[in-house]
Structure 1
């Protein structure tokens, strides 16, 4: 069974869904691959990833009025949690199942090529960010929070950025994904021998330890607290995504629907929305029933984890979400999701210029409309062209 991942593809590979038996959990005997059934393209993962990518772009521009309407305003979690969970889900579909059909070294080589591609795009964003700000400040003022002072005032430490020892702000999620992908082959080896539950137990235990002791983190030369997305904690979300893909493989590509569980998820999301909504920012009375508990993003606190898991379950068990993803709006979001590496990279660069323009030339409605429309059109045009090239490549292979 082939995946939709291509060499020119996305941060996480695009996904296909096999029938029941495409990836099965055998009780007490690990994970095995069954007879492949005809595949039906499931656009939910791509569409949800596309929505998350656009929200990440909007959230990275504090002055953008649209970030009042992203999911971080109606929940403990935000688009980053969705992004990493889908990374684990799609990585199993693209690589995890391949370990049962192809030589291990061949799949490992694909994983390493993906990591290399991620590193190239990470380097591109870092170089563009540093040189843009160092050039821009010769003509217009640049607030110090746009780039860490160690990089803003000299390039002697650029090598630390290249070695991922220093992670500038807004450039810290691809390094996390590189680390998770490098560990994915050993993860698959264990999954196929002991099954998902022991792996989930060990992964969850590590996440819990990090939540009790946040000092357990990778070093970041630019931040004494370490990586903004602590890999030792966020790995649990990635593993949960991979195990969800295994479970969905046993049920025709969807998570099994339980109405009581769906009610619990909706209830928790409603509570999360009330607790997280910026009441005072909208000039409204504070309607929160309690003081918001600890929701540290660095260590993926429990409230954030539950929030994204509830959202993901409702989407991946919903036939309504399936129909929406097949409609015009869903297909547009899925197109963004299929090319998520390019969308994330261009979006991050556009975010930088959007922040600089808003800071120096104002945040009026005319500027708001211009920045958002131009940014969306550029992202749409790029993904349309990438889709066209992908279709041509497929046609050439068939010929």
Structure 2
């Protein structure tokens, strides 16, 4: 693979991000059988960490080059418009979720155990207003606000990395450490006592790492240097993480966990989670086989999902909401689980393919 090939849109990022979006849909439905074999049950980190790291990678690949080609003013305008578009999707998702859940409550008399329940307890209109102001973030609708904050911070991070990438990563790491040592270092959230679930002061480190990864891979052959000892250490860590995190009882197997410990905190990207996602990223981005596999035509649906991540994520949120409502109303029976998961996954892939065709026809 040549340096010119690496400078094109990296198929690994789109394929892996597309896969992460499908996994997030499965994970956002409680008592969902397929979630027993998704990444959060196979190690310390899960799809959310990869999604944010790839968000940093994609921002660097897209807007880093735009700063050089089109100048600061035009790039800042593009970033602002992207943030506004993400916010519009967040507002639409919040509005739809509140009214769908409210209608379901009136029809069934059931009380939701998920997501927007704290906002509805504030009153429909009050909860909606506070949600639109990003002052009250419900479960399952809290990752896009994080993305807005991180993307808004991108110009500052980019300016720093052009001068000294290691200094920016060091400062970013320090903020991550402080967020882990002091839980009060967070943004307020009226829907939870401990602030934003995805603490921006912690998650910004993954975003910055993704930016640095893009800078390194696109400047060279597209691959990280492969070191046998480092790859072996990563595989060992992933194996220990699997043994520790796997739901052995749910799988009907004896418990193989080597330690008795609570799951590492996700909201602040606890150190065990951070090392896990970094080990996984190193193995993925130092392997030429993974790069060639990502270009396989049969993975095009996943690549399309990653390429249109915002729209696919929004549809996945709505599909997961319907799944939660169906399970809560009728119970997570096998026929319902099969239908909910099949329809949701098919709809997300179909939307991505339709958007991909439209994009190609416009270019043509």
Shorter chain as denominator, the TM-score bin is over 0.9
RMSD (Å), alpha carbons = 1.7
Segment drifting more, 371-380 vs 114-123: 371-380
The answer for the alignment partner of 2:195 in structure 1 is: 226
From 268, 293, 304, give the equivalent of 1:299. 268
Matched, 1:107 2:78: no
User: CA shift at 1:363, angstroms?
Assistant: 2.0
User: CA shift at 1:345, angstroms?
Assistant: 0.2
CA contact (8 A) 2:33 2:337 kept: yes
Shift in alpha-carbon separation, 1:238–1:149, aligned structure 2, 3 A? closer
User: CA shift at 1:41, angstroms?
Assistant: 4.5
Higher relative helix content: 2
The answer for the alignment partner of 2:132 in structure 1 is: 162
The answer for the alignment partner of 1:13 in structure 2 is: none
Matched, 1:181 2:151: yes
SS in 1 for 2:82: helix
Matched, 1:335 2:324: no
User: CA shift at 1:285, angstroms?
Assistant: 2.0
1:117-266 aligned at under 5 Å gives the runs 117-146=85-114, 147-152=116-121, 153-193=123-163, 195-266=164-235
Mapped to 2, the partners of 1:255 and 1:144 lie a distance apart of 46
User: CA shift at 1:328, angstroms?
Assistant: 3.8
Structure 1 residues 86-138: Cα deviation after superposition (integer angstroms, max 9, x where no partner): 00111100012322222101001010011000000000110010000101112
Matched, 1:85 2:85: no
Mapped to 2, the partners of 1:379 and 1:161 lie a distance apart of 25
User: CA shift at 1:251, angstroms?
Assistant: 2.1
Mapped to 1, the partners of 2:329 and 2:131 lie a distance apart of 27
Segment drifting more, 68-77 vs 372-381: 372-381
CA contact (8 A) 2:16 2:302 kept: yes
CA contact (8 A) 2:165 2:212 kept: yes
Mapped to 2, the partners of 1:159 and 1:388 lie a distance apart of 37
CA contact (8 A) 1:217 1:226 kept: yes
SS in 1 for 2:277: helix
Shift in alpha-carbon separation, 1:124–1:264, aligned structure 2, 3 A? same
Matched residue count: 362
Matched, 1:394 2:358: no
From 43, 61, 65, give the equivalent of 2:29. 61
Shift in alpha-carbon separation, 1:187–1:40, aligned structure 2, 3 A? closer
Shift in alpha-carbon separation, 1:274–1:92, aligned structure 2, 3 A? same
Mapped to 2, the partners of 1:63 and 1:38 lie a distance apart of 41
Structure 1 residues 173-214: Cα deviation after superposition (integer angstroms, max 9, x where no partner): 000010011111111111112x21001111001111111111
- Per the normalisation by structure 1, the TM-score is 0.87
Mapped to 2, the partners of 1:41 and 1:372 lie a distance apart of 30
User: CA shift at 1:167, angstroms?
Assistant: 0.4
